[in-house]
Amino acid sequence: MFEAITERLTETFRALSGKARLTEANIADAVKEVRRALLEADVNYKIAKDFTDRVKEIAIGQEVIRSVTPTQLFVKILYDELVRLLGEKQEPLRFAPIPPTIYMIVGLNGAGKTTFSAKLALHLKNQGKAPFLIAADVYRPAAAEQLAVLAEKVEVPIYREDGTTDVEGLIRRGIEAAKKQAREVIIIDTAGRQTPDADLMAELAQIAKAFQPTEVLLVLDAMTGQDAVTTSQAFTQTVPVTGFILSKLDGDARGGAALSLRAATGLPIKFIGTGEKPEDLSPFYPDRIASRILGMGDIISFVEKAQAQFDAEQAAKLQKKLEKNKFDLEDMLSQLRTIRKMGNIKDLLAMIPGFAQMKDMDIDEKTFKHIEAIILSMTPEERRNPVIINGSRRRRIAMGSGTSVQQVNQLLREFEQMKKLLRSFQKLQSQGRDPRQAHPLFRKK
Ligand SMILES: Nc1nc2c(ncn2[C@@H]2O[C@H](COP(=O)(O)OP(=O)(O)O)[C@@H](O)[C@H]2O)c(=O)[nH]1
Ligand SMILES: [Mg+2]
């Protein structure tokens, strides 16, 4: 899987590697290629566009780090954004606080429900849990037999009834049987259809309502590309799906489904199926998939190290400036840009001793834009020495930045506060006070 997209991206990186710097022009070219690669992998157009727009914006605003080449930097930016697109982190299965945990497996015919049910049973068994299978596909007589064969292979008990059409009754009796045997996790393999029709949705929604499963896992065939995304949307409208299983990623799937699902639905991919055998299952790790797609794990870790070193140097510089009381508006802007680039202030503050424990803070995007415009409308002299900014200069800066004099005044006040905050953070911290309160720019998420 992902070979085609990886190949295309490698081409893009090669084209970029001759360049000395990331400029708007060569970023635009590279981004266009990335978008094409995504579309060829069958990623939805809107998702591909939003993704590349973000990459472009970040690449343009990126600070230059001497030891890192433009290609390396671009690869890292792409990687970070891919990880984000894929859902950031591995989402583990949830378990019921009081056993049994119930997982309801849903999906279209042939998606891989029965195969996944057995895979999941084996996975749980390997984790020391006691799983139990219920064959609840009452429409296809062969389905229960297929699950029974797999259940025997993975040595997990199964409940089945032949000839019944009363799905709810069957499941209820199955759950009773599981409880009697003190099984902790019940996996219900439900029926599918050729297409996501209203009857199926209503039936699955009813089952979910009756048995309140801990998770409703929708199995999607990765080979179907964008159709998998359409299917996911049809299911999630009616059935309380909690996560996806992407099957058949071992085939010649182009990967579009994996890349689009999270953005299209907001729900996580929990596992991927990588073959027909019960052991061919792995948890879905966004970072591993991203680096597989880019095929450049070594570059990514190199840039991460270089960035960490650069950040440490910047933090040291800042510390020095603060000590000498030379912190100016340019420093403030660069601090805010760093915060924004990182998406979260805690990463920046973590570099400053004593701030590491501050969490969950973010900076307001609109406020940032205003601050940036105001500071950029100042002369270099004004930025270095804000005390010279008198009334008429404030009016001129407001005009130039499309803001108001009040906003300029507020910024200058905030600059003083930030300076004070940064100078005294250690003191605040040592007194056991929450430094978050000290600055109006920072708000809780
Ligand atoms: N290569 C591959 N085949 C799979 C995978 N998952 C399921 N299959 C195959 O897909 C077909 C349909 O699977 P099945 O579990 O019966 O689908 P269901 O109708 O949703 O229950 C079977 O031939 C499986 O062996 C997978 O991850 N990789
Ligand atoms: Mg089946």
Residue 110 Cβ contacting ligand 1 at under 6 Å: yes
Calculate how far, in angstroms, residue 129's C-alpha sits from the geometric centre of ligand 2.
23
Among 104, 189, 200, 276, residue to substitute to test ligand 1 (most atoms within 8 Å of Cβ): 276
407-435 burial: b if 16+ Cβ within 10 Å, else e: bbebbbebbeebbebbeebeebbeeeeeb
**Which two three-digit tokens encode residue 269?**
């991919």
DSSP 8-state class, residue 379: -
The predicted structure's pLDDT at residue 339? 63
Long-range CB pairs of 354-361 (<8 Å, 24+ gap) are 354/425, 354/426, 354/429, 354/430, 355/425, 355/429, 355/435, 358/435, 358/436, 360/444, 360/445, 361/436, 361/442, 361/443, 361/444, 361/445
Between 42 and 390, residue with greater pLDDT: 390
User: 248 CB less than 6 Å from ligand 1?
Assistant: yes
**Alpha helices, DSSP H, located in 190-247:** 198-211, 226-238
What pLDDT band is residue 341 in, cutting at 50, 70 and 90? low
User: What is the value of pTM for the model shown?
Assistant: 0.73
Cα gap 371→354, rounded to integer Å? 26
Q: Would you say the CB of residue 231 lies under 6 angstroms from ligand 1?
A: no
Ligand 1 centre and the CA of 223: distance in Å?
A: 11
Instruction: Give the distance from CA 180 to its chain's centroid.
Output: 40
pLDDT tens by residue, 200-256: 999 999 999 999 999 999 999 998 888 999 999 999 999 999 999 999 988 776 788
Q: Which CATH number fits domain 3-86: 1.10.1740.10, 2.40.420.20, 1.10.579.10, 1.20.120.140?
A: 1.20.120.140
Question: Rounded to the nearest 5 degrees, what angle is found at the Cα of 16, between the Cα atoms of 14 and 18?
Answer: 85
* Distance from residue 121's CA to the centre of ligand 2 (Å): 15
Q: What is the mean pLDDT of residues 272-285?
A: 94
Residues of the chain with CATH 3.40.50.300: 101-293
Nearest CA to ligand 1 atom 10: 112
pLDDT above 80 (res 124): yes
Q: Which ligand is nearest to the CA of 107?
A: 1
Up-side HSE of residue 147: CA atoms within 13 Å toward CB?
31
Question: Which of 302, 338, 303 has the alpha carbon at shortest distance from 318?
Answer: 338
Q: What local confidence, expressed as pLDDT, does residue 1 receive?
A: 66
Q: What is the pLDDT of residue 72?
A: 82
Domain with CATH 1.10.260.30 in the chain: 327-444
Work out which ligand 1 atom sits closest to the CA atom of 108: 20
User: What pLDDT sits at residue 314?
Assistant: 74
The predicted structure's pLDDT at residue 330: 85
Model confidence at 360: pLDDT above 60? no
Specify the domain boundaries for CATH 1.20.120.140 within the chain: 3-86
pLDDT tens digits for range 58-105: 888 777 677 777 788 888 888 999 999 999 899 999 999 999 999 999
- CA–centroid distance, residue 260 to ligand 2 (Å): 25
Radius of gyration of the chain (CA): 27
180 CB contacts (<8 Å, ≥6 apart)? none
pLDDT at position 443 over 50:
no
Condensed to tens digits (0 to 9), the pLDDT of residues 175-209 reads 999 999 999 999 999 999 999 899 999 999 999 99
Mutate to test the pocket of ligand 1, among 1, 218, 247, 249 (most ligand atoms within 8 A of CB): 247
Measured CA distances, 12 to 31, 36, 290 (Å): 9, 10, 16
Residue 247: CB within 6 Å of ligand 1? yes
The residue with greater pLDDT, 149 or 384, is 149
The CB of 251 under 6 Å from ligand 1? The reply is yes
Dist. CA 243–CA 190, nearest whole Å: 16
- Beta strands at 442-444 and 361-363: parallel, antiparallel or unpaired: antiparallel
Ligand 1: residue whose CA is nearest its atom 24: 276
Spell out the residues 6+ positions from residue 316 whose beta carbon is closer than 8 angstroms to its own: none
pLDDT cut 90: percent of the chain above it: 49
The whole-chain average pLDDT of the chain stands at 84
| Domain at 101-293, CATH homologous superfamily | P-loop containing nucleotide triphosphate hydrolases (3.40.50.300)
Residue 232, phi then psi, degrees to nearest 5: -60, -40
pLDDT reading at 350 higher than 80: no
Q: How many CA atoms lie within 13 A of 232 on its CB side?
A: 29
Ligand 1 pocket check for 224: Cβ under 6 Å? no
Ligand minimally distant from the alpha carbon of residue 137? 2
Which of 1.20.59.10, 3.40.50.720, 1.10.260.30, 1.10.10.10 is the CATH number of 327-444?
1.10.260.30
Q: Which of 18-22, 27-31, 292-296, 349-353 has the lowest mean pLDDT?
A: 349-353
Tell me if 152 sits within 8 A of 100, measured CB to CB. no
